[in-house]
């Protein structure tokens, strides 16, 4: 056994001891998973990866995505040992052993699961909800390809974790796009949380599956330093043009027999047993003859290789304006001139293409509906920056998070309804601070004919939940935008690209009349008054977004005829500065919010603001309260769910004050 | 070619023509997908399946789950031809050709995608969001096994659809549980919506994948009647102990060359081209020599086989009471006696086990965290009714929906955070009216040490969206329950099993003091007043659920000492009858809602109710507005997100009136 192998073995034991101590210090965590990764992490971080602990997020660095985030203590241990730069509170400094022992404490940047935004730039994304890391890795690799960066992204995932369908979506995506700079490492320690993994997650089964998904596989002993290192260094040759999946057979609780077997998942070693567990690892060092290495030689053997220097490039110019974008597509220009209408989704396509021309960092993904979302405009114009994600929304969103971490501005689009498939992934992206641009088309019941399986009507409740939480940049964790015409859609899409936090644009399917001048601005948190208080004995403010703004304008005409004064508000943004909208009604006034979705959107926003203050106007709502169904027209379905213009008129007449 | 084959060919053409006509009538829909299924559906519904068109949901019937829901017009065509019983408005009658031509119209039970609750009992579940049908089929097969029913569940899915990771979760689940009564049929027509499918979804790739997932595969010509029928009849022999996956090579737009290739997905034939498309199919009939069959002989050849008779059995008795359930587990009884505390999740485990004894229809699933959720109690006691779903939440939820359709009462549990992975599947289950019992444990930020990747804090916004929508039974589409002690948790779990609509129980991880007498009742929509108005110059109503009820009780003590009168409300249910809670504050009063989740829960509920009325109390809230992180104790994290008892006291002092 040469010095390198000896040094790796000794370091793995040292890191294992630190991981045990850190989790015992925390009183929670996953020491046995960490131990199963001890040799893999040592070889990666001290030998194979090209990276610089002083600049863990340097542009050209190899990346390590720990998909099974609960194994993180072993990486924290390595980072403490290497004095990796951490940035708690924005202040860079070298990570210390004290930092390591602060694991999971409230003031620590060392969270229970990986998370870059707390000041840990070694990581690219928050992980911990399982099965997402390979998709993130695919996104990082995609970004590197677009930017011409030669780096490898290593993704470690668990065998039990490989039950998550998203893993196989990612396997397909990596193979489809020939992202051979991704190396998947399956940590096959045979144990899940509550039991041994199923046969379907046994190492042989995973090997067969990965091969069927178009990967080259190799099975190794995940505790053998030389085998690991040889495999990872020869990754390109081994892959032979396909992505490489390393099936690493490991032992959960490696080195500590008292922690072997079921029942030890997520359980730290009790303080009074700590010395025993550490002694077991010391015994391994003696057995392996690595308990007394020359420290200088060992340190020399374990020095991370620096990445090549890299200078970032980026082309940006002002994006084309709406009129020019329309004029550039004669068919669109003709249709607009003829019908005076355009769908928000059509405008999204125009804006995305304009962004593509203006900003070399803008990329797009779509889930086999690009001809419906109009992401096709971008795909045709910038095929090298378009990544077809096929019918696999979870992978699409996590890959977009990886692209964002890789320095791109990713727009991920599909029907709003199908983004629900990826709500977990969206939340993880938000937790990790990913600058994600989500576009959900065909939102609301006005989609009509396809029925409720295709209608985004519960999306708003989930997405608004984040809109009132602040991300690390002081912005809302998500800004939700529901434009009511093509001009405002176009403007909002451009603004999304310039905004540094996550956004969700909800684009209606239907062709809608243009309501705004092309020089109008649509600040986030803002609103527009579309119909200034008409004359009447009583008064009502109608607030809506998207399709129903148009219904409210129709209702306003009828109400005014009937002697009720009306103000119509386009409440396109969540969160919303609600005070000016409440002021439009006045303290004795009334607001009626009209939405073609379930509860949890604009009506909740205004009701919460009103209820919190004394002397507020009343805020009532007309929302979807029955399960919608197919109808041949938007009007049919709006009627069915009691949201017709007549329903609005009736409710407004009752609510007006 | 024998009469049977001729008759199948002729019928497939006839159904194809009907499907084209129906989608043209609707002005939308997917005729080309329908045509690719023409022969498969004809063989299944007229030849292979044991079922009775007069009783399409008879207990012993074979089932057909159309996972690629957009292909449904071909099934509707067969159902109209066979006069299957439909039940629009609850009134059974035979489906007519007029019904078929009413496809997608607002008054029709024939929706754009399959949905049983509109009056179409041939189907077991709503489909249309792709990739879920095989999981539903697995649930149906599981229910049949528990009940001793000998029936086959056929599941048809698309090749492009097989990109969804959930498909592979389901493949694992079926193989794991040896559900050989499930037959998967992959409709490999090579085309998705926007393009040809990827190589990864080519028929050879799917064949390799299915084999790697433990299935037996067979590749057939999906337009060859005899090949289809022979394969499906010999399914058990062919499977040879493994589940059978039939890879059917088909043609999108079969029989109508003008609809071949890309660009025809989801596009109906225009009215003025209808005769041409129908003529193309007529030409096929001539070519195949089936344009002039003897109608009597042909009809005789195509008669569905009736299912065997079956009498439903069910054992029910009153479930054990809380005290008895505790006493039955000495360790739990001891801990409760010692500490006077128990976690809601612990009580869930006890209640689930009690239900298992009381009701033979209660089944449980969990996603490898049964030792944390305490579903383990049930798994140990009733292993034949427990289905380990491993780390694959999407499949778990859709399988639960299938179990519900199969007559069971399924409890599906995991961390609340991980149910977010299955929000799409939950919505589809709700759309289809599945009587689902979801249990999410470890909810809220008080989970503490594991950090935000494990905390359910945005779940409430999504789930409440459904709580204000009415399902077909007149109940809320989802009732959300967040109990604050073990006694109320136990009572609510028992009540969930007796309720006929979907419920979501949010069970806190922490041990919490018992607040209720064991004979207390917890009606849905209700609340409890835990601290009757204390004396003070001013007054505040504190409303909370779960963990924070206890914080509010502590805050109430401090506030009362400071001269502020307090009422504490346990707002355990959403939807909530808000008026009595508003009345507790009085028209000039104030309510402070305290929640350890993002916006969209109890605070929204009460604010919306208050804002809608004149002379309401003010409703303010103290919620999570910053991204939480790991902390070593619940108090540390509550402090971090500004939800400590002192924060409550300060906010209440400011809000009291």
Domain ranges for chain B: 3-301, 322-513, 528-655
Averaged pLDDT for residues A287-293? 96
Instruction: Give the model's confidence band at A309: pLDDT under 50 very low, under 70 low, under 90 confident, else very high.
Output: confident
- φ, ψ of residue A560 to 5 degrees: the values are -65, -40
How confident is the model at residue B313, as a pLDDT? 77
What separation in angstroms does the CA of A266 have from each of A27, A104, A158? Answer: 10, 13, 14
Residue B328 near residue B490, CB atoms below 8 Å: no
CB B621 to CB A612 under 8 A?
yes
- Closest partner CB to B630 (pick from A111, A199, A453): A111
Residue with tokens 């391994």: A284
- Helices marked H in A59-164: 73-82, 97-101, 133-147
Pairing of strands B479-481, B573-574: antiparallel
- Candidates A99, A106, A441: best to mutate against B (most CBs of B within 10 A) is A106
**Which residues neighbour A272 within 8 Å (Cβ) at sequence distance 6 or greater?**
none
pLDDT at B126: 97
* pLDDT at residue A516 tops 80: yes
A150 has a pLDDT exceeding 80: yes
Mean pLDDT of A526-536: 92
Mean pLDDT of B282-299: 96
pLDDT band with cut points at 50, 70 and 90 for residue B473: confident
Domain A528-655 fold is Rossmann fold (3.40.50)
Does residue B533 register a pLDDT over 90? no
Q: What is the pLDDT of residue B266?
A: 95
Q: Tokens for A131?
A: 């099965």
Where would I find the beta strands (DSSP E) of B310-442? 341-342, 362-366, 386-388, 409-415, 437-441
Q: Percent of chain A beyond pLDDT 70?
A: 100
Which residues in chain A are closer than 8 Å to B211, comparing Cβ atoms? 208, 212
Q: Average pLDDT in the B571-579 region? A: 98
* Res B218: pLDDT: 98
pTM of the model: 0.98
Residue from A104, A80, A111, A106 nearest A94 by CA? A80
What pLDDT score was predicted for residue B532?
86
pLDDT in tens, A41-89: 999 999 999 999 999 999 899 999 999 999 999 999 999 999 999 999 9
Question: Which CATH number is A3-301 given?
Answer: 3.40.50.970
**SS3 of residue A327 by DSSP:** helix
Reported as a single tens digit per residue, the pLDDT across A454-475 is 999 999 999 999 999 999 889 9
Which residues in chain B have their CB less than 8 angstroms from residue A372's CB? 193-194
pLDDT of residue B499: 96
Q: What residue of B is the nearest CA neighbor of A452? A: B431
ipTM of the complex: 0.98
Residue B234: pLDDT band by 50, 70, 90 thresholds?
Answer: very high
Contact A466 B29 (CB under 8 A): no
B465 confidence band (pLDDT: 50, 70, 90): very high
Q: Provide the pLDDT for residue A644.
A: 98
Determine the pLDDT at residue B455.
97
The minimal CB distance from A106 to the residues B613, B627, B640 is found for: B640
B123-179, pLDDT tens digit by residue? 999 999 999 999 999 999 999 999 999 999 999 999 999 999 999 999 999 999 999
**What integer pLDDT is reported at residue B308 of this predicted model?**
87
What local confidence, expressed as pLDDT, does residue A258 receive? 96
> Which tens digits make up the pLDDT trace of A212-269?
999 999 999 999 999 999 999 999 999 999 999 999 999 999 999 999 999 999 999 9
B451/A115 CB distance under 8 A: yes
Q: Which of B14, B393, B427, B595 is catalytic?
A: B393
Q: To the nearest whole percent, how much of chain A has pLDDT over 90? A: 97
Q: How far is residue B314's CA from residue A402's CA, in Å, rounded to a whole number? A: 51
For the record, the structure tokens of A222 come out as 């995940």
Mean pLDDT on B15-19:
98
pLDDT above 90: percentage of residues in chain B: 97
Nearest residue of A to residue B175, measured between CA atoms: A200
CB contacts of B636 in chain A (<8 Å) are 105-106
Chain B hits for A600, CB-CB cut-off 8 Å, are 461-462, 464-465, 600, 604
CB contact under 8 A, B369 and A604: no
Q: What is the pLDDT of residues B383-440, one digit of tens each?
A: 999 999 999 999 999 999 999 999 999 999 999 999 999 999 999 999 999 999 999 9
Q: What is the DSSP string of B67-121?
A: SSGGGTHHHHHHHHHHT-EE-GGG--EE--HHHHHTTT-TT-S--SS--GGGT-T
Mean confidence (pLDDT) of chain A: 97
Question: Could you tell me the pLDDT band of residue B335, with boundaries at 50, 70 and 90?
Answer: very high
| DSSP three-state, residue A257 | helix
pLDDT, tens digit, 9 for 90 and up, residues B194-206: 999 999 999 999 9
User: Which chain A residue is nearest to residue B466, measuring alpha carbons?
Assistant: A598
Helix/strand/coil for B219: strand
Q: Which residues of A are catalytic?
A: 393
E strand or H helix at B134, and its extent?
A: helix B133-147
**CA angle at residue B206 from B205 to B212, to 5 degrees?**
90
Residue A275 has a pLDDT of 98
Peptide bond into B589 cis (omega under 30): no
Write the class of the CATH domain A322-513: alpha beta
CB A18 within 8 A of CB A274: no
Q: pLDDT band for position A312 (50/70/90)?
A: confident
List the single residue in A with minimal CA-CA distance to B617. Answer: A611
Q: How confident is the model at residue B61 (pLDDT cuts 50, 70, 90)?
A: very high
Band (A355; pLDDT cuts 50, 70, 90): very high
From chain B, the residues in CB contact with A631 under 8 A are: 104-106
Fold matches, B322-513 and B528-655: yes
**Nearest Cα residue to A358 out of A501, A455, A494, A219:** A494
The pLDDT value given to residue A313: 77
**The pLDDT value given to residue B310:** 81
What pLDDT, in 10s, does the model give residues A17-49? 999 999 999 999 999 999 999 999 999 999 999
Alpha carbon B620 to chain centroid distance?
34
Q: Where are the alpha helices (DSSP H) in B406-448?
A: 416-419, 423-431
Contact state of B477 with A600 under an 8 Å Cβ cutoff: no
How many CB atoms lie under 10 A from the CB of residue B162? 32
Give per-residue pLDDT as tens, A372-391: 999 999 999 999 999 999 99
């Amino acid at each position: 056994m040469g010095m390198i192998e000896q040094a790796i073995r000794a370091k793995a034991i040292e890191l294992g001891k630190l991981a045990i101590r850190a989790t015992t210090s925390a009183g929670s965590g996953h020491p046995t998973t960490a131990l199963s990764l001890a040799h893999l992490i040592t070889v990666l971080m001290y030998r194979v990866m090209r990276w610089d602990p002083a600049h863990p997020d340097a542009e050209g660095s190899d990346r390590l995505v720990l998909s099974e985030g609960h194994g993180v203590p072993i990486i924290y241990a390595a980072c403490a040992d290497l004095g990796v730069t951490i940035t708690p509170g924005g202040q860079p400094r070298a990570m210390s052993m004290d930092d390591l022992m602060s694991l999971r404490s409230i003031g620590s940047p060392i969270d229970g699961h990986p998370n870059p935004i707390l000041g840990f730039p070694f990581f690219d994304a928050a992980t911990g909800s399982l099965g997402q890391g390979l998709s993130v890795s695919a996104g990082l690799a995609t970004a590197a390809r677009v930017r011409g960066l030669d780096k490898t992204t290593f993704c470690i995932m668990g065998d039990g974790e490989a039950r998550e369908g998203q893993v196989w979506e990612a396997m397909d995506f990596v193979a489809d796009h020939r992202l051979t700079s991704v190396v998947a490492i399956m940590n096959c320690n045979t144990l899940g949380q509550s039991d041994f993994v199923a046969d379907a997650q046994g190492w042989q089964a995973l090997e067969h599956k990965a091969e069927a998904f178009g990967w080259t596989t190799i099975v190794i002993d995940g505790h053998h330093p030389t085998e690991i290192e040889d495999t990872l260094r020869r990754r390109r040759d081994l892959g032979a043009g396909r992505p490489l999946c390393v099936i690493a057979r490991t032992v959960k609780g490696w080195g500590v027999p008292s922690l072997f077997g079921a029942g030890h998942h997520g359980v730290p070693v009790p303080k009074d047993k700590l010395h025993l567990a550490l002694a077991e690892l010391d015994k391994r060092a003696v057995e392996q003859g690595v308990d007394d290495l020359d420290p200088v030689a060992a340190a020399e053997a374990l020095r991370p290789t620096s990445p090549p220097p890299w200078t970032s490039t980026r082309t940006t110019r002002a994006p084309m304006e709406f009129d020019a974008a329309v004029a550039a597509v004669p068919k669109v220009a003709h249709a607009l001139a003829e019908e005076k209408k355009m769908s928000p989704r059509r405008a999204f396509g125009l804006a995305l293409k304009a962004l593509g021309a203006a900003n070399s960092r803008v990329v797009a993904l779509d889930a086999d509906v690009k001809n419906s979302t109009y992401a096709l405009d971008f795909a045709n114009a910038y095929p090298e920056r378009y990544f077809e994600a096929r019918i696999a929304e979870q992978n699409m969103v996590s890959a977009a998070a990886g692209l964002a971490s890789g320095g791109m501005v990713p727009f991920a689009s599909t029907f709003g309804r199908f983004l629900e498939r990826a709500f977990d992934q969206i939340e993880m992206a938000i937790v990790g601070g990913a600058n994600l641009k989500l576009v959900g088309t065909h939102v609301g019941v006005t989609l009509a004919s396809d029925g409720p399986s295709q209608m985004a009507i519960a999306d708003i409740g989930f997405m608004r939940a984040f809109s009132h939480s602040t991300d690390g940049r002081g912005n809302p964790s998500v800004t939700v935008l529901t434009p009511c015409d093509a001009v405002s859609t176009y403007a909002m899409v451009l603004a999304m690209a310039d905004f540094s936090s996550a956004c969700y644009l909800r684009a209606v399917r239907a062709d809608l009349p243009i309501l705004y001048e092309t020089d109008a601005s649509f600040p986030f948190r803002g609103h527009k008054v579309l119909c200034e208080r008409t004359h009447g004995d009583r008064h009502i403010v109608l607030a809506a977004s998207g399709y129903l703004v148009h219904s409210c304008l129709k209702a306003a005409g009828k109400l005014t005829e009937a002697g009720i004064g009306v103000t119509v508000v386009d409440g396109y943004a969540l969160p919303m500065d609600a005070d000016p909208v409440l002021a439009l009604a006045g303290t004795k006034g009334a607001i009626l919010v009209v939405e073609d979705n379930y509860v949890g959107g604009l009506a909740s926003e205004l009701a919460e603001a009103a209820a919190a203050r004394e002397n507020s106007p009343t805020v009532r709502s007309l929302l979807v309260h029955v399960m919608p169904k197919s109808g041949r027209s938007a009007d049919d379905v709006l009627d069915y769910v009691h949201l017709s213009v007549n329903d609005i008129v009736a409710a407004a007449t009752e609510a007006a004050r």
